[in-house]
Copies of this chain bind each other. A is one copy, B any other.
Amino acid sequence: MRSFVRAAELGQLQHTADELGVTQQAISKRIAALERELEVRLFTRTARGVELTLDGQAFLPHARTIVAGVDRAVTAVRPGSRALRIDVLGLRSAQAVVLHDYWRSHPETDLDVVTLRVNDPQVAAAAVQAGDVDASFRTVVDPATLPRDVQMIRAFDSPLELLVGPRHPLASARTLTPSQLRKLRIWVPGIVPRSEWAEFYDQLASAFDLRIDATGPNFGNEVLLDALADSADMATLVGARDRYIWPANHDLRRIPIVNPTLAYPLSLMFPSTNPHPGLRAIIDHLATLAPLPEPAWLPSWATPRGSAHRGGH
């Protein structure tokens, strides 16, 4: 196909052969094979080269499309040239929203946002090490547990907001403090036991004496939002940047939590050696994000962004 396109452009099999680094006879056989396959003559042979037949003219644009498609397909996965591929916990998570913001201000970036669908940060780290993804947004982990050649930086901290329906007693509050949430029924379905999220909610519950119900399967956001809209006492926690779409008649309210701000710490893991060239700009973009309002609460394993790391290796 490539030979055909180039021969059509150059008008000579000989030049095509030189350019593609094979003999003229090879090109001749390629074209002949293509013509045999299609049962159609693509070129008329003249003494000073080749010229497209009508069939060849009809075929050429398709051939160009195919060749270009192959090139795009290869560069889509070829290590080193493929799009910057970043793992996020979910396509509606704060991380995905941050990446989307970045992409909107840099639309030329070839960005591929994927979800590895694994809970264990160590598995995600292994995927980074193996090159399956160029970077992964996860919670903060002990740097000593990271595989060789994978490093981690603090990305940003995602402040939590309370999400309630219109009949909830706190529905009209502008802001809330954690003490106002004491004993409140908070439902966070779909949390995998012993995962980073389970640990986060455990610490949160004991630190502020909350009643967090993190059990039960997650039947999807629609079910959760439906339940919230109808309930007079149920609430849930969402990230301030998380993207949620609900029907207008649900009338749910997001209420910021302050004094202290509750936040989930996020880091970005990526290879120490030869990271994807596009990653630098993402990291720079993360540095521009607004810091958490003070005072802030973070789980024990995370220090506020900007302070020194614990430990090392």
Contact = CB atoms under 8 A, between A and B. Distances in A.
Contacts of A73: 59, 62-63, 65-66
A74 B36 CA distance: 12
* Category for how many chain A residues contact B: 20 to 34
Interface in A33-69: 38-40, 42, 53-55, 57-59, 62-63, 65-66, 69
Interface string A259-288: 000000000000000000000000000000
A58 B38 contact: no
Nearest to A35: B77
B69 A62 contact: yes
Given A53-B132, A54-B85, A132-B55, A72 B77 contact: no
A125 interface: no
How many subunits of this chain does the assembly comprise?
Answer: 2
A74 B132 contact: no
A78 interface: yes
B72 A69 contact: no
A65 to B, nearest CB: 5
A85 B54 CA distance: 9
Contact of A38 (B69, B78, B116, B132): B78
A40 B77 contact: yes
Interface of A: 38-40, 42, 53-55, 57-59, 62-63, 65-66, 69-70, 72-74, 76-79, 82-83, 85, 112, 114, 116, 132-133
30 contacts: A38-B77, A39-B78, A39-B79, A40-B79, A42-B77, A53-B132, A54-B114, A54-B116, A54-B133, A55-B82, A55-B132, A57-B114, A58-B76, A58-B77, A58-B85, A58-B112, A59-B73, A59-B76, A59-B77, A62-B69, A62-B72, A62-B73, A62-B76, A63-B73, A65-B69, A65-B73, A66-B66, A66-B70, A66-B73, A69-B69
